[in-house]
Amino acid sequence: MTLEILTADRLVPLRHGFFTRKGGASSGIFHGLNCGPGSSDQSEIVAINRARVAAAMQVPVDHLITVHQVHSAEVATVDGPLTERPRADAMVTRTPGLALGILTADCQPVLFADHSAGVIGAAHAGWRGALDGVLEATLDAMEDLGAQRSDITAVIGPTISQAAYEVGPDFLDEFLAEDPEASRFFANGEGDRMQFDLPGFGLYRLRNAGVGHAEWTRHCTYADADRFYSFRRTTHHGEADYGRLIATIRL
């Protein structure tokens, strides 16, 4: 099966993509393009999937760079292939030929580019990372490499939508303690439950940080099981594990 790669006009002509699960070698609960070495999928199969992504990005496999994601605001600046994956949730580079890769299964994959400066970034922004400032930290790191914040485009890829993201009152309280304006991203649900708008919150943080352009592709990972992995959907179905989607960008 052919790989399916979602792209954003504002990132063109840079080679980039939000890969769906189509076109992969994994089977069973992982069927499709599972690129997560942290899953319980066969490591050899994950390697095949990642090799297919690297080929699509036109880079050697060791130039497809991913990090050990820990829901932090840590950003790694990379200038070549890594011998070990640093604990971080975003990467930036100005080195041509490196494909920055972010793994997700409901959290926001965010691809960044300052075309004029030749600086790119990629971030994994779940609720924790977004609240703690991973998006702003990525912009700061890009500026350190010569980017201009007002020239940066940021695109949020497939992520869980508000309709599928039910949270409790403690979750709301944590956001309001950090930023009372965040109340706009919560809608009433059943009983004391709320529905949280993760991509809306991500766009809000990006725009408040002064990024030149920010958008969401408007794909919901939870709602489309044929195309996307979803941690929350897996949990609701009582499945043992889940695959990880990959989003990549390169100069």
Q: How confident is the model over 102-155, as pLDDT tens digits?
A: 999 999 999 999 999 999 999 999 999 999 999 999 999 999 999 999 999 999
- Specify the DSSP element, H or E, that contains 16: strand 15-19
| Amino acid code (one letter) for 214 | A
Does residue 173 lie in a domain region? no
Cα–chain center distance at 58: 20
Torsion angle defined by CA atoms of residues 129, 135, 140 and 143, in that order, rounded to the nearest 10 degrees: 150
pLDDT of 229 reads: 98
Does residue 154 lie in a domain region? yes
- Taking 80 as the threshold, does the pLDDT of residue 12 lie above it? yes
Does residue 220 lie in a domain region? yes
pLDDT digits (tens, 9 = 90+) for 34-53: 999 989 999 999 999 999 99
**Which tokens go with 61?**
């496999």
CATH, residue 11: 3.60.140.10
Does residue 170 lie in a domain region? no
Does residue 46 lie in a domain region? yes
Instruction: Quote the CA–CA distance of 120 and 29 in Å, as a whole number.
Output: 33
Does residue 40 lie in a domain region? yes
Does residue 65 lie in a domain region? yes
Total domains present in the chain = 1
Which residue range forms the structural domain that includes residue 139? 5-161+197-250
Max CA pair span of the chain: 51
pLDDT of 100 reads: 98
Does residue 178 lie in a domain region? no
CA distances from 108 to 90, 123, 168, 245 (A): 11, 8, 20, 11
Q: Give the contacts of 162 (CB within 8 A, at least 6 positions apart).
A: 185, 187, 195, 196, 197, 198, 200
